[in-house]
């Protein structure tokens, strides 16, 4: 069962083409990942304070299939594909409320040290929880 996040398209997300501005999808993807971590018990604000770690995006691939419009409901999945000590990869699909696939993304996330901004092992507690998602 993949984690799924539901949100809505507001004026701020659209552009003069009448549809959602392409970069905004990355914002939606990030909100979904944040709530996915939260569903595992990790608020990123605590991650920083308790572990001196934060997650940074190191790579994004995204295919835009169909545009989203004002007032559309969006469902965004988060599926963990791989998990290393200092990085993880997820795939995320963006579906409209009626089930139409709008965009598909693959996102690589790095665990960084808040001081040096360098790759650093993610907290053991998080790695353990996330590992349960891999199978």
Q: Which are the catalytic amino acids?
A: 15
Q: Among residues 37, 40, 36, which one has the least CA distance to residue 2?
A: 36
Beta bridge partners of 87: 110
Sign, CA dihedral 66-2-46-56, equals: negative
What is the contact mask toward its own copies in residues 26 to 45, using x (rule: CB under 8 A)? xx--xx--x---x----xxx
Parallel/antiparallel/unpaired status of strands 87-96 and 101-113: antiparallel
Residue 99 binding its own copies, by CB under 8 A: no
Q: Are 70 and 14 in contact (CB under 8 A)?
A: yes
Stretch that binds its own copies, among 8-16, 81-89, 91-99, 127-135 (CB under 8 A): 8-16
What is the contact mask toward its own copies in residues 44 to 83, using x (rule: CB under 8 A)? xx--------x-xxxxxxxxx--x-xxx------------
- List contacts with its own copies (CB under 8 A): 10-12, 14-19, 21-24, 26-27, 30-31, 34, 38, 43-45, 54, 56-64, 67, 69-71, 117
């Amino acid at each position: 069962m993949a984690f799924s996040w539901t949100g809505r398209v507001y004026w701020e997300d659209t552009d003069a083409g009448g549809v959602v501005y392409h970069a905004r999808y990355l914002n939606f993807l990030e909100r979904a990942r944040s709530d996915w971590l939260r569903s595992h018990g990790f608020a990123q604000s605590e991650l920083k304070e308790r572990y001196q770690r934060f997650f940074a995006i190191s790579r994004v691939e995204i295919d835009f299939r169909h545009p989203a419009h004002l007032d559309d409901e969006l469902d965004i999945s988060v599926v963990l594909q791989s998990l290393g000590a200092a990085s993880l990869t997820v795939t995320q699909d963006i579906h409209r409320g009626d089930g139409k696939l709008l965009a598909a993304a693959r996102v690589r996330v790095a665990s960084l040290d808040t001081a040096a901004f360098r790759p650093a092992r993610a907290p053991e507690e998080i790695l353990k929880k996330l590992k349960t998602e891999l199978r």
